[in-house]
Amino acid sequence: MLLRQWLAEAETALQALAQQDPQATDLKFEASRLWADVLDKNPASERLYLEQPLSDAELNCLNSALQRRASGEPLAYITGRWWFWDLELEVAPCTLIPRPDTELLVEQALQLALPADAQVLDLGTGTGAIALTLASQRPQWQLTAVDYSADAVALAERNRCRLQLENARILQSDWYQAVAGQRFDLILSNPPYIDAEDPHLTQGDVRYEPLTALVAAEDGLADIRQICTQAPAYLQPGGWIYLEHGHQQHEAVQQILQQAGFIDVSSRRDYGGNWRISGGRLPR
């Protein structure tokens, strides 16, 4: 079978998935990503292979991956890699899949007037996406990334080592536990913020992602409240905090930040126009 034929058949096989999962919209892209990632090819070189036959071994690998995707398993978990900002990251079912909306936290951090040698803390790092991106963009910054999951910490450390980012460290920690007594210029977090009864938990990729990284008590606000309430003890005077949250939570998160003593509290919308991150600054 030629690659061109397999790509066409793969696109057809994924049509049933698209009817069930509104996130699976670009079937041609997904078929191409399966081919490139499963066979470790450069996606940009696809047209050079279109008329070349696939070996039996390649065909078996591709069809196995296609069957998994057609059943609903996230593309990122099948390929074991995903992109965030300009980094290619290893991913696994022990962590959330990095999403473009979370890049808003990176954008916000890069816009802040922080010290040249800023100390930055990433709470609940997962793959390490936020911390490692900032470490690559600001080599003089020192990034500390923590996660409660030992598996997530090991995965983030593999990403750090592969990217050779010596200005980042990955620690296992229950939120601030491992950084007791330390102060940072900026705290960032994409914490669990989905209510346990939210119907979105039964849809799309989140069905396969770890619930501990998605769900929080108190209508999804428990972890956000804990992070914000304890943050002043870990920030330098004038230090900043920004968190990702649900699109209907920005007013509640702003209130939590203000009650914790933060000023200049504000929210930003994501690329889809939904309120996605909120943050503020400690008084000096």
DSSP-derived secondary structure for 31-96? HHHHHHHHTT--GGGHHHHTTSBPPHHHHHHHHHHHHHHHTT--HHHHHTEEEETTEEEE--TTSP
Same domain, 63 and 133: no
Domain boundary among 13, 45, 72: 72
Q: So what's the pLDDT on residue 22?
A: 56
Q: So what's the pLDDT on residue 21?
A: 64
- Angle at 45 (CA atoms; ends 75, 63), nearest 5 degrees: 40
**In total, how many domains does the chain have?**
2
pLDDT tens column, 31-66: 998 999 889 888 888 999 899 999 999 999 999 999
Kindly report the CATH number assigned to the domain that includes residue 264. Answer: 3.40.50.150
Q: Which two tokens stand for residue 256?
A: 């939590």
Same domain, 63 and 101: no
CB 203 within 8 A of CB 232: no
Q: So what's the pLDDT on residue 159?
A: 98
Task: Read off the pTM.
Answer: 0.91
Q: Which two tokens stand for residue 262?
A: 């933060």
Same domain, 226 and 166: yes
Q: So what's the pLDDT on residue 20?
A: 65
Q: Which residue range is the domain that position 205 belongs to?
A: 90-281
Q: So what's the pLDDT on residue 16?
A: 75
Q: So what's the pLDDT on residue 43?
A: 82
Same domain, 142 and 54: no
Same domain, 67 and 103: no
Q: So what's the pLDDT on residue 144?
A: 98
Residue 78 lies in a domain: no
In whole angstroms, what is the distance from residue 69 CA to residue 178 CA? 38
Number of H helices, E strands in the chain: 12, 9
The low-confidence residues of the chain, meaning pLDDT below 50, are none
Q: So what's the pLDDT on residue 131?
A: 98
Q: So what's the pLDDT on residue 213?
A: 86
Q: So what's the pLDDT on residue 161?
A: 98
Q: So what's the pLDDT on residue 258?
A: 98
Domain boundary among 27, 46, 72: 72
Domain boundary among 39, 72, 105: 72
Residue 79 lies in a domain: no
Kindly report the CATH number assigned to the domain that includes residue 23. Answer: 1.10.8
Same domain, 96 and 154: yes
